[in-house]
Amino acid sequence: MNRVIDNHGRPISYLRLAVTDRCNLRCFYCMPEEGIKYVPKPHLLTWEEMERTIRILVNMGVDKVRLTGGEPFVRRGIMDFLEELNKIDGLRQINITTNGVLTAPLIPEFQRLGIKSVNLSLDTLDRQRFFDITRRDEFQNVWQTFEALQEYNIPTKLNSVVMSGKNTDDIIPMAELTRTHNVSVRFIEEMPFNGDGAHEYQEFWNYRKILEELKKTYPGIYKLPDPPASTSYNYQIPGHKGTIGIIAAFSRTFCGTCNRLRITPQGQFKTCLYDDGVFNIKDLLRQGLDDASVTERIYEALQHRAKDGFEAEAQRTVGLVSESMSTIGG
């Protein structure tokens, strides 16, 4: 496999594609209560444009795609899109990140569609706290999605953003899920991507503090080897079926092995989560460029990639990080 290597010697193999900026929740760390100003429909990449982009990237060595958003399952046509992606030779892994509100009834289709794993966002096991965080009373539907994922044996990661004053009491109950469930529970540092729904941090829960909290209840928790290009520090509690990950998303400890690209719903091509987009792929496709010219443009961008999230943030032209994560995809 000829895989494109960036200017820091990192092979690029993974695309995170945000298929929509629309969402049916209003998680306070992601967007303000009134929501964000959605991109007008004609400015969104079409499914056909997304498929063509993925085919081009697969020819450049990308073999793993994660569909994210916004909430992927609110965009009409996603199941047909998944069907098309499943036909692409060389695309080894199709994964999805979802909030789980609409997902449970679709899970029986996942295996046939080649979906290799699902990241389900769940910050709490308490219905009232779920409402306080997401501003919607949808806990039961999300839990049904979790149960369906288990029933159909779809490898699952539960993503939980740890926020002081909101859900730190959930760290241990979430970790307890790994006792009997074959699931990876991942605790994520909060990042400032909240669509200007800015809020005061009472106390920042970084990865060290999260680990210390876990150690109080589980002194025997031990480190697992981290897979290559992993964004999480991985652990297991003795005797538990599942595993625990801690993602230092704000501290940015994982940039040295970063193998990922991002494309936003309106086609901004990002070589780092913290950059403000290096070009717009939708514009290139709509200008009528052929695949070779688009490939050349992507290659170019990868030869000027920031070393890490701090450098990318410093190079931004549109100011401080404040866009909603639903326009980036996490």
Structure tokens at 29: 């760390």
Residue 50's contacts (CB-CB under 8 Å, 6 or more residues apart) are: 17, 19, 81, 263
Q: Quick one: which of 13, 53, 95, 98 contacts ligand SAM (CB under 6 A)?
A: 98
Stretch that binds ligand SF4, among 63-71, 78-86, 180-188, 291-299 (CB under 6 A): 63-71
**What backbone phi and psi angles, to 5 degrees, belong to 167?**
-140, 20
* Window 216-245: contact mask with ligand SAM (x via CB under 6 A): ------------------------------
Q: In which residue are the tokens 């990661």 written? A: 157
Min separation Cβ 120 and ligand SAM, Å = 7
Q: Quick one: which of 99, 145, 243, 266 contacts ligand SAM (CB under 6 A)?
A: 99
For the residues of 124-144, what is the DSSP string, one character each? -S-HHHHHHHHSS--HHHHHH
Q: Quick one: which of 95, 99, 119, 264 contacts ligand SF4 (CB under 6 A)?
A: 99
H or E stretch covering 315: none
**Can you tell me the distance from the alpha carbon of 288 to that of 250, in angstroms, rounded to the nearest whole number?**
38
**Can you tell me the distance from the alpha carbon of 316 to that of 219, in angstroms, rounded to the nearest whole number?**
42
* Window 248-267: contact mask with ligand SAM (x via CB under 6 A): -x------------------
Stretch that binds ligand SF4, among 56-64, 66-74, 111-119, 169-177 (CB under 6 A): 66-74
Report which DSSP code applies to 295.
Answer: H
330 binds ligand SAM (CB under 6 A): yes
Q: Which is nearer to ligand SF4, 33 or 290 (CB)?
A: 33
**Can you tell me the distance from the alpha carbon of 314 to that of 248, in angstroms, rounded to the nearest whole number?**
19
Q: Quick one: which of 95, 97, 243, 271 contacts ligand SAM (CB under 6 A)?
A: 97
Cα dist. 25→51, 99, 316 in Å? 27, 8, 28
Q: Which is nearer to ligand SAM, 298 or 309 (CB)?
A: 309
70 binds ligand SF4 (CB under 6 A): yes
Q: Quick one: which of 13, 53, 103, 159 contacts ligand SAM (CB under 6 A)?
A: 159
Q: Which is nearer to ligand SAM, 183 or 294 (CB)?
A: 183
118 binds ligand SF4 (CB under 6 A): no
Exposure b/e, 115-140, CB count within 10 A at least 16 = b: bebbbbbbbbbeeebbeebbbbebbe
Q: Quick one: which of 17, 31, 120, 125 contacts ligand SF4 (CB under 6 A)?
A: 31
Cα 2 versus chain centre, distance: 26
Stretch that binds ligand SF4, among 46-54, 64-72, 162-170, 285-293 (CB under 6 A): 64-72
In the chain, the amino acid numbered 52 is R
Chain contacts with ligand SF4 (rule: CB under 6 A) = 23, 25-27, 30-31, 69-71, 99, 121, 325-326
